Amino acid sequence: MRVYAVDVLVIGAGAAGMAAAAAAAREGARTVLLERGERLGGVLEQCIHPGFGLHRYREELTGPEFAHRLRGELEDSGADVLTGITALEVFPDGPKVKAVSPRGLKAFSPKAVVWAAGARERPFGALRIPGTRPAGIFTAGLAQRLLDLEGFLPGKRAVILGSGDIGLIMARRLHLEGVEVAAVLEIQPFPGGLTRNVVQCLHDFGIPLLLSHTVAEVHGRERLTGITAVRVDEHRRPIPGTERHIEADTLILSVGLIPEVRPIEGLVALDPVNRGPRVNGWLQTEAPWLFAAGNCVAVFDLVDTVAELGERAGAAAARYAVGELPAGKKVPLVRGENVTALVPSYLDGAAEGARIYLRVPRPLEGVTVDLGGVVRRPVRVARPAEMIGITLDGDALSELSRREEIVVEVKRSG
Ligand SMILES: Cc1cc2nc3c(=O)[nH]c(=O)nc-3n(C[C@H](O)[C@H](O)[C@H](O)COP(=O)(O)OP(=O)(O)OC[C@H]3O[C@@H](n4cnc5c(N)ncnc54)[C@H](O)[C@@H]3O)c2cc1C
């Protein structure tokens, strides 16, 4: 088996991977970007709705347009791109990455790796919903792919479970393509997606959103014929007597994304809440040569953030490859009150320009994000769907990096 020696190997050509490879190559590193699909762009290619790039390009683009811009940056950078190759295993020593393509196995011996493999959808089997197992049940990403890339309608009358952004966007796409959307069910008492998506995808088209509801049972032998919807209490337990039948031949599941970490999970510690690798302010994992960026670290709401973190990881990997990445004291960030997703897991005093991203568990009004009592940022309305990003200036970074740990919390202001 031929072994390819490179400085930086980037795995996954979504927004994070393309931005990482371009940044690494711009730093002068010999860079290869591996993608298992035939096209570059990852999930962006099937997101044909607008809403991408407002921060990065100051324009509202569709997913494919955003991917096109990044492909241009990648081409200009001089990074090499290999498509149709899947990274199978990542090892701590020797040729660090084994990959397979239709032409056989390949091995890569990079000085640094950027893992940018995105996230996968939580499948129907993980939900343990009683009933039959007919055709007509799709994850939202699969339905989106069928509709937007392959040109197939998944059915005629749909129920959507989950009001995250993907569920909301699919409700609108299905409606616009002539599928009747009977309802969007959300188990939480608040919508899971961005407010703009609730308004633009549901309210504008009169699609009902049933909060504190879930699917109690699916019906149908060959094809789905309907579902039983039920109201849930504050502990998400079904309330007896609130069941109602909704006729539908299609159930779309938008019930969460899980960071893709299989080939690296034995190598590095994962964060139990983010479910991706623990990283420092350079996006460097606990294996110093392995960096990670994008939805494989934690699920991000905006592609602009994903691309920004990809760039940071790629540039840092290139500096690591030539022994020029500064290392400072590693200070753990600890979740305090009202914090779920939190990136990075450590602050590194040398990681200038680091940003901290976090999510809250439920909508909160009039709160302050507090980083170890050193940085306090008031937030008028914090929503679980919207990640809060905080940039640390040099003074805050040097003060915080003297600590043993930094508690990150979101408290009522005043
Ligand atoms: C339906 C939907 C709507 C969205 N709407 C918006 C929006 O309006 N605005 C916005 O800013 N953001 C939006 N987002 C979020 C944004 O698109 C994503 O956060 C971002 O594109 C994720 O990029 P990524 O590079 O982390 O992952 P991905 O795009 O998933 O890319 C990962 C890549 O890695 C490849 N890969 C995985 N494993 C391997 C392997 N072992 N070997 C080789 N290659 C591998 C995959 O094939 C894929 O190409 C939306 C996302 C979705 C799903």
251 in the same domain as 159: yes
Q: Which of 149-163, 242-256, 387-401 has the lowest mean pLDDT?
A: 387-401
38 and 84, same domain (yes or no): yes
pLDDT of residue 76: 98
Q: CB neighbours (10 Å) of residue 101?
A: 14
What spacing in Å lies between the alpha carbon of 159 and ligand 1's midpoint? 24
pLDDT of 190 > 80? The answer is yes
Residue 311 has pLDDT above 90, yes or no: yes
Distance CA 33, CA 11 (A): 6
Query: Is residue 353's pLDDT more than 90?
Result: no
Can the peptide bond before residue 378 be classed as cis, meaning omega within 30 degrees of 0? no
User: What are 326-343's pLDDT values in tens digits?
Assistant: 888 889 999 999 999 999
- Identify the domain boundary among 277, 298, 325: 325
CA of 15 to the centre of ligand 1 (A): 6
C-beta neighbour count of 392 within 10 angstroms: 22
Ligand 1: which residues within 6 Å by Cβ?
11-17, 34-37, 42-44, 47, 51-52, 86-87, 116-118, 141, 144, 165-166, 169, 260, 294-295, 300, 302-304, 306
- Over pLDDT 70: what percentage of the chain? 100
Two structure tokens written together for 351: 């990681």
Residue 289 near residue 111 (C-beta atoms within 8 A): yes
Owning domain of residue 354:
329-414
Question: Are 242 and 262 contained in the same domain?
Answer: no
The residue whose CA has the least distance to atom 48 of ligand 1 is 42
C-alpha distances (whole Å) from 364 to each of 72, 337, 341, 383, 384 are: 40, 12, 15, 7, 9
Task: Report how many domains make up the chain.
Answer: 3
Decide if 357 contacts 305 (C-beta within 8 A): yes
Would you place residue 222 in the very low, low, confident or very high pLDDT band (cuts 50, 70, 90)? very high
Q: Please identify, by atom number, the ligand 1 atom nearest to the C-alpha of residue 300.
A: 19
Whether 1 shows a pLDDT value over 90: the answer reads no
Whether residues 236 and 339 fall in one domain:
no
Domain shared by 150 and 239, yes or no: yes
Q: Confidence band (pLDDT; 50, 70, 90) for 10?
A: very high
Same domain (yes/no): 250, 127? yes
Residue where one domain finishes, among candidates 325, 346, 370: 325
Mean pLDDT across the stretch 274-300?
96
Are 141 and 248 part of one and the same domain? yes
Condensed to tens digits (0 to 9), the pLDDT of residues 229-273 reads 999 999 999 999 999 999 999 999 999 999 999 999 999 999 999
Q: What CATH number corresponds to the domain at position 182?
A: 3.50.50.60
Q: Mark which of 283, 304, 325 sits at the end of a domain.
A: 325
Which helix (H) or strand (E) covers residue 16, if one does?
helix 15-26
Rg for the chain, CA atoms, rounded: 22
| Together in a domain, 35 and 46 | yes
For residue range 45-74, list pLDDT tens digits in order. 999 999 899 999 999 999 999 999 999 999
Ligand 1 centroid to Cα of residue 257, in Å, is: 10
Asked if residue 116 and residue 31 are part of one domain, the reply reads: yes
Name the pTM for this structure.
0.94
Testing ligand 1's pocket by substitution, the residue of 40, 47, 200 carrying the most ligand atoms inside 8 A of its CB is 47
Range with lowest mean pLDDT among 77-86, 334-343, 388-397: 388-397
Q: What are the distances in angstroms from CA 357 to CA 242, 281, 285, 398?
A: 39, 11, 16, 19
CB atoms within 10 A of CB 355: 16
Check whether residue 137 and residue 208 sit in a common domain: yes
| Cα 384 to averaged position of ligand 1 atoms, centre (Å) | 19
Query: Which string of DSSP letters, residue by residue, matches 366-389?
Result: EEEEEETTTEEEEEEEE-TTS-EE
Are 55 and 2 contained in the same domain?
yes
Strands (E), 116-193: 119-121, 137-139, 157-161, 180-186
> Considering the chain, what is the average pLDDT of its residues?
95
Whether residue 384 is found in the same domain as residue 398: yes
